[in-house]
Amino acid sequence: MKKLFIIILITTFPISAFSQEAIRDTFHESRFNATHLTVTGEINAATFNLILNNYRRLTHLDLSQSKIVSYTNEHKDNVLPRSAFYDYGIYNLKIILWNLRKVILPESLVAIEEGAFRENKIDSIIIPSGVKYIGPGAFASCENLNYVSLSDSLQYIDTYAFSGCAKLPSIKVPEKTKVFIGAEAFANCTSLTEFLHSNNIDSIGASAFSGCGFRSFIIPANVSQIKDNTFNNCKFLQSIIIPENVKNIGYGAFAGCSELITINIPKHLDYIEFTPVLTSRNSVRIDSYKRSTFDQCSKLRSFSVAKDNPAFSTRNGILYNKEQTVLIYCPEGIEGEIIIPLSVREIAPFAFQNSNISSVIIGGNVRKIGYGAFYASTKLTSIKFPEKLKEIAESAFFGCTGLVSIELSKNLERIENQLFSGCTVLTDIKFSENLKEIGKEAFAGCIGMISMELPEKLEKIESSAFINCSGLTTIKLPNNLKEIGEGAFAFSGLTTITIPKNISEIRRSIFRGSRLETVIIPENVKIIEEAAFRFCRNLKKISVYWQEPALVSVSDIFTLFDDNKKHEKNCILEVPFGTKEKYLDLEPWKYFQVVEKP
């Protein structure tokens, strides 16, 4: 058995021990009161386990005269073992030396493994000069840590190594070696305002400085990529200097930097991730980890683009491609009216996301407005479309809660999915006379709409197109209409509806929960699907034109509240003259007050 020497200072008197077993056995009574512990000689992972489980009041630990040796194949010499001062006991309870404030590490140390000091209360740490690697979460959530001296030999700070060290004000990276900083390495170090380096950092990981307290930051000259969320939610960051070597900027890199005013775009930067990722294919919710680069930078007003940059240019603070044929991004800090120049042919996806503009005049040569282009531009009240506009992509005006009126261009043949969804005060819409299709949830939640007349060339209304339009009381459907999708008018305010003569199917939940009082169904309708009129509590009259009653296999098409059909009994079913007896013999028609047309 290798020997080690231990000196213990207890709150009342000092005691010495001579072997590792002494930590566990010899001082059975006094170990629980010890506050200072000095360990010399060879130690291993088992030693740390004994200290962790026996010296709960320890405030100071001196390992400067010890040497860490391997314990099993999982451990290595001169490496502070994984979870040295952090573990789980019975019932999965944390074991931490809650009073520990100072630790002096062995000079022979070369690495600190994962979670070694995780959630400890140490207030300072000096990393020995030979340490090349600091492992994942090594000092994560050490909320009292206010001073760190990094090793001169350091090469790699791994993922979330210092994340959550909320009192850490400054970090100085050693000059002698190239250093790689892992993902979330300093994330949520809210007091971190100073990061000193000598341009010897080659890589900074995703979210490395997310939530830090920087006022300014100079990105190291050797960095070629600003990765996803690197400075996400650095709410006090006012200035950033991006070096020439940077070629691309990832998702959400500066998202939530609400004090940023301007951004420089250097010579070689040719890609910025302006298009966020949605949580799912059918959702318009943005993935919080895949946001637009400058999302919620509410004071950002301009870009400064290097003249020899091949990809970007700027005009009045707005970012364009080099030729200014594509409007790429309008900073959120720009307010008032925007006039898009005639050179522009396309507005890029999410170009005006969360913008604070109030009015837009789109240049006459714009042919396409991209996906989510004006997403959640809540201050936008008016927009003027050019006649040449042929395409407005999905969700382009999603959540534009200030938009009151729209006049669509004459060449527009389709209103895409969720195009005006959530435009709660939209009351006046002038459709293109060439409009043929209205997409899914195109006007969902547009509670301000009261009445609507759809153009005669319209052929198709897709599912949930007008769902939750609670203020919409009247709508005129054109005779040319051939298809209405599931739930198209569900939970709307419609009181009367006349189904067009070319409709052959009334789809599932199409008027579910609406305020319908009167429904007119033409002879051409052959199929009525499940729950088509379910929970239409105000339904008083249904007028049909079938000489032979439509055969319906689903029983809850008209079910209002329960299965006893009492509400159907209060609703009149008006049928062609001479057909009353036929309807009285079939479900669900027999449950209504069947009357014949005069």
User: What is the chain's alpha carbon radius of gyration, rounded to the nearest angstrom?
Assistant: 35
| Tokens 């669509």 -> residue | 408
Identify the residue with better confidence: 84 or 260.
Answer: 260
8 A C-beta contact, residue 40 and residue 68 = no
Does residue 28 surpass a pLDDT of 60? no
pLDDT at site 229: 96
**Position 264 in a domain:** no
Say what percent of the chain tops pLDDT 90.
Answer: 73
* CATH number, domain with residue 93: 3.80.10.10
Q: For residues 384 and 360, give the distance between their C-alpha atoms in angstroms, rounded to a whole number.
A: 6
| Cβ burial 383-395 (10 Å sphere, 16+ → b, else e) | bebbeebebbbbb
Could you read off the pLDDT of 374-394 as tens digits, one per residue? 999 999 999 999 988 999 999
pLDDT at 561 over 70: no
**Residue 113 is encoded by which pair of tokens?**
């493994």
Q: Is the pLDDT of residue 97 over 90?
A: no
Question: Do 188 and 211 contact (CB within 8 A), yes or no?
Answer: yes
Alpha carbon of residue 20 to chain centroid: 51
Q: Is residue 34 a contact partner of residue 8, using CB atoms and an 8 Å limit?
A: yes
Query: Does residue 74 lie within any of the structural domains?
Result: yes
User: In this predicted structure, what is the pLDDT of residue 153?
Assistant: 94
Are 18 and 24 in contact by the 8 Å Cβ rule? The answer is no
Average pLDDT of the chain to the nearest whole number: 89
State which residues form the domain around 23. 1-108
Summarize pLDDT for 464-522 with one digit per residue, the tens. Answer: 999 999 999 999 999 999 999 999 999 999 999 999 999 999 999 999 999 999 999 99
| Per-residue confidence (pLDDT) for residue 9, from 0 to 100 | 44
Structure tokens at 388: 């040449």
* Within a domain: 377: no
Specify the range with the lowest mean pLDDT, choosing from 43-47, 119-123, 190-194, 380-384.
43-47
In a domain, 85, yes or no: yes
- Cβ atoms within 10 Å, residue 439: 21
Token couple for 198? 């000598």
Is residue 21 a part of any domain in this protein?
yes
Please indicate, yes or no, if residue 98 is contained in any of the structural domains: yes
Digit-coded pLDDT (tens) for 331-355: 999 999 999 999 999 999 999 999 9
- Average the pLDDT over 44-73 and give the result: 87
Is residue 77 domain-resident? yes
Residue 91, pLDDT score: 53
> 123-154 in b/e burial notation, b at 16+ Cβ within 10 A?
eebebbebbebbbbbbbbbbeebbebebbebb
Who has greater pLDDT, 555 or 354?
354
Three-class secondary structure of residue 497 per DSSP: strand
H or E element at residue 549: none
Pairwise pLDDT comparison (199 vs 487), residue with the higher score? 487
Q: Is residue 83 part of a domain?
A: yes
pLDDT at 589: 85
- Beta carbons within 10 angstroms of residue 538's beta carbon: 12
Instruction: Please give the pLDDT value at position 281.
Output: 56
Query: What is the number of structural domains in the chain?
Result: 1
Which pLDDT band holds residue 199 (cuts at 50, 70, 90)? confident
Mean pLDDT of the region 219-235: 96
Higher pLDDT residue, 554 or 476? Answer: 476
**pLDDT of amino acid 1:** 40
User: Which of 57, 60, 35, 39 lies closest to 48, judged by CA?
Assistant: 39
Question: Rounded distance, CA 556 to CA 597, Å?
Answer: 25
The pLDDT assigned to 73 comes to 65
Q: pTM of this prediction?
A: 0.86
Question: 562 pLDDT exceeds 80?
Answer: no
Angle (CA) 280-285-289 rounded to 5° is 85
Q: Give the Cα separation of 326 and 307 in Å (integer).
A: 18
pLDDT of 88 higher than 80: no
Strand partners, 240: 217
